[in-house]
Amino acid sequence: TNRTFTMIKPDAFGAGNTGAILEMIESAGFRIIALKATRLSPELAGQFYQVHKERPFYADLCQYMSSGPIVAAILEKSNAVADFRSLIGATNPENAAEGTIRKRFATSLEANAIHGSDSDENALIESNFFFSAFDQIG
């Protein structure tokens, strides 16, 4: 599809970087289809990151993702999933390219400012985790 899902993570939201990140996203040609500020309980973070439940960092990740408010959004653009992963940069900000969101705003491998779906299938699953059809503009 031409849609992806993103979260501005607690570190970036807490530092007041939401506006600057949304500006980078829109400047890169993504259109906002749904948007909200919310928070994840540890249980909801655990559900969202089910795919990582066997990874050694799963408990830390769920704790971190429930440590403060986040912003969730659905974004539209041609080639959305791949282009958005390019815009956010490498998972570890030490490896993130210049001009990427993580290069500019991430503070560590865990507190890396932003999430981007890794496939069309997961973009749909993650979008439906946060948003009803009613929340999404056409």
Residue nearest to Mg ion (CB): 118
Q: Applying CB under 6 A, does 61 fall inside the site for ligand GTP?
A: yes
In our burial notation (b when 16+ CB lie closer than 10 A, e otherwise), range 53-69 reads eeeeebeebbebbbbee
- Per CB under 6 A, contacts with ligand GTP among 87-116 are 91, 109-110, 112, 115-116
In whole angstroms, the minimum distance from the beta carbon of 84 to Mg ion comes to: 12
Q: Which is nearer to ligand GTP, 121 or 137 (CB)?
A: 121
Q: Is 52 a catalytic residue?
A: no
- Strand order in 70-76's β-sheet? 31-38, 70-76, 3-8, 114-116
User: Phi/psi of residue 37, each to 5°?
Assistant: -90, 135
Tell me how far apart the alpha carbons of residues 58 and 128 are, in angstroms, rounded to a whole number: 22
Active-site amino acid positions: 115
Residues near ligand GTP (CB under 6 A) are 57, 60-61, 91, 109-110, 112, 115-116, 118
